[in-house]
């Protein structure tokens, strides 16, 4: 909680009705701040913020950040962008606009207000990496013209804009590179591996693995990720990032599928399908910088996090 009214902030969260955004809004309100949740509701959900409707510190603004927004704030968290392949490939041109024009508009607002601004970037900036695990110094191996490029390159361009605004205008920026995150409020049809597997397992349908299942991912529970974002925003100005935020515990997709089937008590079998184009074979964050600069590391184990996630999706079906 803020130690006094002087420490209480008015904070804008774009994408605030989405999976990560709504959890961040909760955390900031719990910390005693006033929060403006800005979302065009393309992938956001009113269900994610329904419990905040009567909260005195909460304000919802329906707005697409590819268009300018004129408000007053002490801090800005820019999380607005569809983050799953199903959603960002639905309208790839708009996805790029959201990342690039959204960065320009939020940075312009932060410049006018002279306030800190945090960009939610992504591990996808590393593409299909040749270095494992991926440190922030690795420039990536990304296809600029593939079906995932609207998201990958949009986020890379947003990072460019953030650092150019810092160099050119002295703006206090923060850039977080978010690795696979899961938990309650994930969209049940977002096409991401955890939500896909959990929904299929609960419905007793075959679990679909793309590729042979040997590709790896590292899964971070949502509360850990949100704590990392807040710590980065509150870190000294010289800690700009980019900083990896994710759980370095790596596992194969096949092992994840088996674990979810077991934990859900599901009769689901496992089926294999062709691997999508440009799908990375390995993904694991090097989080040494987050440990050093933010005193941050994940604390929620995979089985505990999956139990909460399975309970959430089971309740949705009730």
pTM given for the model = 0.94
Q: Which domain holds residue 189?
A: 8-317
- Annotated catalytic residues are 151
Q: Indicate whether 214 belongs to any domain.
A: yes
pLDDT band at 12 (very low <50, low <70, confident <90, very high): very high
| Inside any domain, residue 3 | no
Quote the CA–CA distance of 242 and 252 in Å, as a whole number. 26
Over residues 250-274, the mean pLDDT reads 94
The per-residue DSSP string of the chain comes to --SSGGG--EEEEETTTSHHHHHHHHHHHHTT-EEEEEE--SS--HHHHGGGTT-TTEEEEE--TTS------SEEEE--S--SHHHHTTSHHHHHHHHHHHHHHHHHHHHHHT-EEEEEEEGGGGBS-SSSSB-TT---B--TTSTTHHHHHHHHHHHHHHHHHHHHH---EEEEEE--EE-TT--TTS--HHHHHHHHHHTTPPEEEESSS--EEE-EEHHHHHHHHHHHHHS-TT----EEES---EEEHHHHHHHHHHHHT----EEEEPPPTT--S---B--HHHHHHH-----S-HHHHHHHHHHHHHHHH-
Residues 6+ apart with CB under 8 A from 100: 154, 157, 158, 161
- Whether pLDDT at 3 is above 60: no
Adjacent-strand bridge partners of 314: none
Judge whether 14 lies within some domain: yes
Q: What is the tens place of the pLDDT at every residue in 187-236?
A: 888 878 999 999 999 999 999 998 899 988 999 999 999 999 999 999 99
In this predicted structure, what is the pLDDT of residue 7? 84
Residue 1 lies in a domain: no
Phi, psi of 74 (to 5 degrees): -95, -25
Residue corresponding to tokens 């496992």: 270
Residue 284 lies in a domain: yes
CATH (domain of 308): 3.40.50.720
Q: Is residue 96 in some structural domain?
A: yes
2 lies in some domain: no
pLDDT at 185: 96
In the chain, the number of structural domains is 1
């Amino acid at each position: 909680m803020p130690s006094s009214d002087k420490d209480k902030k008015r904070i804008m969260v774009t994408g605030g009705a989405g999976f990560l955004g709504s959890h961040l809004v909760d955390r900031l309100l719990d910390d005693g701040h006033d929060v403006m949740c800005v979302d065009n509701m393309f992938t956001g959900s009113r269900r994610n913020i329904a419990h905040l409707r009567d909260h005195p510190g909460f304000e919802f603004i329906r707005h697409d950040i590819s268009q300018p927004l004129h408000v007053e704030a002490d801090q800005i968290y820019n999380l607005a962008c569809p983050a799953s392949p199903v959603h960002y490939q639905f309208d790839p041109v708009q996805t790029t606009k959201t990342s690039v024009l959204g960065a320009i508009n939020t940075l312009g607002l932060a410049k006018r207000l002279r306030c800190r601004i945090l960009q939610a970037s992504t591990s996808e900036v590393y593409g299909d990496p040749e270095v494992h695990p991926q440190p922030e110094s690795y420039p990536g191996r990304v296809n600029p013209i593939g079906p995932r490029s609207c998201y990958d390159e949009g986020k890379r361009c947003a990072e460019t804009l953030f650092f150019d605004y810092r160099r050119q205008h002295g703006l206090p920026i923060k850039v977080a590179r978010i690795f696979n995150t899961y938990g309650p409020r994930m969209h049940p049809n977002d096409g991401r591996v955890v939500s896909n597997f959990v929904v299929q397992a609960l419905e007793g349908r075959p679990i679909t693995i793309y590729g042979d299942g040997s590709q790896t991912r590292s899964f971070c529970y949502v509360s850990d990720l949100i704590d990392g974002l807040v710590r980065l925003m509150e870190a000294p100005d010289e800690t700009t990032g980019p900083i990896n935020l994710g759980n370095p515990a790596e596992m194969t997709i096949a092992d994840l599928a088996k674990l979810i089937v077991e934990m859900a008590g599901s009769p689901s079998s496992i089926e294999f399908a062709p691997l999508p184009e440009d799908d990375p074979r390995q993904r694991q964050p090097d989080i040494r910088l987050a440990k050093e600069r933010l005193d941050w590391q994940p604390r929620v184990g995979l089985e505990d996090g999956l139990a909460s996630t399975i309970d959430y999706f089971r309740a949705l079906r009730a």
